[in-house]
Amino acid sequence: MTSASQNSFSELYSAYAAGCIDPAFALMLEAQSLMRADVRNSVAVSEMISGSFLDAAPEAQMSEGALERTLAFIDALEAPPERQRAAGKAAGDAINEILSLPEPVRGAALDAAGKSGWQMMGIGLKRLKLDVGSTMDVELYRISAGSKIPRHSHSGNEFTMVLSGGFSDERGNYGPGDVCLNGPGDTHQPIADEDEVCYALAVRDGRLRFTGVLGMVQKLLGAR
């Protein structure tokens, strides 16, 4: 994560610790914490603070069957091995790359690859839409070495985290665990590093607005 985006993203730590974070950001934060010790420490501190508030709060009466429902919900979150293997087989040649990604992105990507599959966006660029129970758009990008995402702006906020490899845009370079934040009106063109494939997780609450010829096609089709 670059210093420019650190403060904007760090406010999510307390929301995560309190259990009131959007599933899309929980996915991103959990993956990032596996790659970066500083993020793990920040989350741990937030959890300690939230725990102290919880200890001081008055006890609440649980409804009948609450424990059983909670345990059943936890079981439902864990995909059975058979489903993981089937989704992994459908992922094709990229399976080894996906398996190297940090959890919980890896599991979500395997599931999505087995259901909807990758969408080609151009030479050296593929996109996989992830379903994590969020109202936000959550997408995994595979950018071949030296390839680029078409130049675009944003109608909302977009958080893009590098999972492996790296990319650069007009404002800087980003490696594993770094988060690039763009807001409404920001325009950029991410380009993957020349030496390896880049996998990036994007979470956004608005549409991408492409420029140039692709932007004209987007307007004609009324698509994102």
Among all chains, which residue has been given the structure tokens 């999972």? Answer: 163
The mean per-residue pLDDT over the stretch 200-210 comes to 86
108-143 pLDDT, tens per residue?
999 998 888 899 988 899 999 999 999 999 999 999
Phi, psi of 153 (to 5 degrees): -115, -175
Question: 6-15, 28-37, 176-185 — which is least confidently predicted?
Answer: 6-15
138-165 pLDDT, tens per residue?
999 999 999 998 888 888 899 999 999 9
- The per-residue pLDDT for 221 is 45
Q: Cite the beta strand spans of 70-132 per DSSP E.
A: 119-122, 125-129
- The per-residue pLDDT for 216 is 42
Residue range(s) defining the domain that contains residue 167: 1-224
Strands 137-143 and 208-210: unpaired
Q: What CATH number did the domain enclosing 83 receive?
A: 2.60.120.10
Q: Is the pLDDT of residue 65 over 80?
A: no
Q: How many separate domains does the chain show?
A: 1
- The per-residue pLDDT for 13 is 74
Count the neighbouring beta carbons within 10 Å of the beta carbon of residue 48: 10
pTM (global) more than 0.85: no
